[in-house]
Structure 1
Amino acid sequence: MRNLMFELRLVLQSRLAAGALALLMLLSALSVWSGLQAGAAQRAALERIAATQRAEVAAIAAKYADGGDAGQAAYSTPHLTVNPPSPLAFAALGQRDLQPYSLRVRLLGLQSQLYESESINPELAMAGRFDFAFLLVYLAPLFVIALMHDLISGEREAGRLRLLASLPAATGRLWRRRIGLRYALVWLAALAPLAAGGALAGAEAAGLAGVALVASLYLAFWFGVTAWVAGHARGSAASAAILLAALVGLTMVLPTLADAAIARLVPVSKGVELALAQRQAVHQGWDVPKTATFAQFFRTHPEWRDTPPVTGRFHWKWYYAMQQVGDQAVADEVARYRASLREREDWTGRAGTLLAPVAVQVLLHRLADTDLRGQLAYQERIADFHTRLRKFFYPYIFEERPFSPRDFARMPSFGASEARAELPAGPLAALGLMAMLALALGLRRVAH
Structure 2
Amino acid sequence: MNLWHYEWRLLLRARVAVAGLVLLTLLALASLMSGVQRMDSQRAAIERIPALQQTDLAAVIHAHGTSTDAGHAAYYTFHPTWHAPEPLAFAAVGMRDVAPYILRVRALGLEAQIHDGDTFNPELALAGRFDFAFLLTFLLPVFVIVLFHDLRSAEAEAGRERMLRALPHPLARIYARRAVVRGVALLACVVPLFVGFALHQGVAPGLIAAVVALTIGYTVFWIALALLVARRRWSSSTNAAALVTVWAAIALVLPALSHVAIERAIRVDQGAEIARAQREAVNAAWDMPRDLTMQRFYAKYPEWQDSALLGHAFHYKWYLAFHQNGDDSVAEQAAAYRRGIEQRADAAARVGWVLPPVGMQVLMTRWAGTDMRAHLAYQDRIRAYHARLRHFYYGYLFREVPFTADDYPRAPAFAPDHP
- Find out whether 1:336 has 2:363 as its counterpart: no
* Structure 1 match to 2:76: 76
In structure 2, runs of 5+ residues without a counterpart are: none
CA-CA distance at 1:2 after TM superposition: 2.4
Structure 1 CA distance for aligned equivalents of residues 276 and 168 of structure 2: 73
1:120 shift after superposition: 2.7
Matched residues in 2 for 1:52 and 1:273: separation?
A: 32
Deviates more, 1:276-285 or 1:199-208: 199-208
Identify unmatched segments of 5+ residues in structure 1.
419-448
Distance (whole Å) between structure 1 residues aligned to residue 85 and residue 153 of structure 2? 47
1:127 and 1:135 map into 2 onto residues whose CA distance is 10
CA distance in 2: counterparts of 1:417 and 1:217, whole angstroms: 34
2:393 maps to: 393
Measured against aligned partners, the alpha-carbon deviations of 1:213-272 in whole angstroms (never above 9, x if no partner) come to 221111010010011111213211110110011111111111111111111111211111
Following the alignment from structure 2 to structure 1, what is the Cα–Cα distance between the partners of residues 389 and 382? 10
For residues 196-215 of structure 1, the aligned pairs below 5 Å read 196-215=196-215
**2:161 — aligned with what?**
161
Q: Which amino acid aligns with 2:91?
A: A
Amino acid at match of 1:138: F
1:74-126 C-alpha deviation (Å, 9 max, x unpaired): 1110000011222111111111111111110001001010011221399x957
Give the structure 1 partner of residue 119 of structure 2: 119
1:127-178 Cα offsets, whole Å, 9 max, x none, are 7311001111111111111111111101111212123234586223222221
The aligned runs of 1:202-351 (5 Å cut-off) are: 202-351=202-351
Q: For residues 251 and 79 of structure 1, what CA distance do their matches in structure 2 show?
A: 42
1:43-102 C-alpha deviation (Å, 9 max, x unpaired): 233334543222011222345666621111111100000112221111111111111111
Residue of structure 1 equivalent to 2:384:
384
Aligned to 1:15: 15
Compute the displacement of 1:305 (Å): 1.1
The code of the aligned residue for 2:305 comes to R
State the superposition RMSD in angstroms: 2.0
Whether the aligned pair in 1 keeps the contact of 2:121 and 2:270 (CA below 8 Å) is no
Structure-2 separation of matches of 1:341 and 1:50: 32
* Conservation of the 8 A alpha-carbon contact between 1:28 and 1:191: no
Q: Which amino acid aligns with 1:417?
A: D
Instruction: Identify which range, 47-56 or 31-40, moves more after superposition.
Output: 47-56
Which one is further off, 10-19 or 38-47?
Answer: 38-47
Counterpart amino acid of 1:114? I
Task: Report what 1:430 is aligned to.
Answer: none
Q: Work out whether residues 80 and 414 of structure 2, in 8 Å CA contact, stay in contact via their aligned partners in 1.
A: yes
Q: Distance in 1 between matches of 2:214 and 2:321?
A: 50
Partner of 1:129: 129
On the 8 A contact 1:210/1:367 being kept in 2, the answer is no
How many angstroms apart in 2 are the aligned matches of 1:121 and 1:310?
A: 41
8 Å CA contact retained: 1:64, 1:404: no
Q: Which amino acid aligns with 1:373?
A: R
Secondary structure (helix, strand or coil) at the match of 1:107 reads coil
* SS of match in other structure, 1:309: coil
| Bigger mean CA deviation after superposition, 380-389 or 190-199 | 190-199
Structure 1 counterpart of 2:224, which letter? G
3-state SS of the aligned residue for 1:222? helix
Q: Give SS of 2:88's match.
A: coil
**Paired residues for 1:137-148 under 5 Å:** 137-148=137-148
Identity between Structure 1 and Structure 2 (%): 43
1:201 deviation in Å? 2.1
Distance of 1:233 and 1:298 partners within structure 2: 78
The answer for the alignment partner of 1:95 in structure 2 is 95
Question: In structure 2, what is the equivalent of residue 402 of structure 1?
Answer: 402
Counterpart of 1:405 in structure 2: which amino acid?
A
Runs of 4+ in 1 over 6 A off after TM superposition: none
TM-score by length of 2: 0.95
The answer to whether the 8 Å contact 1:98/1:121 transfers is no
CA distance in 2, matches of 1:321, 1:121: 30
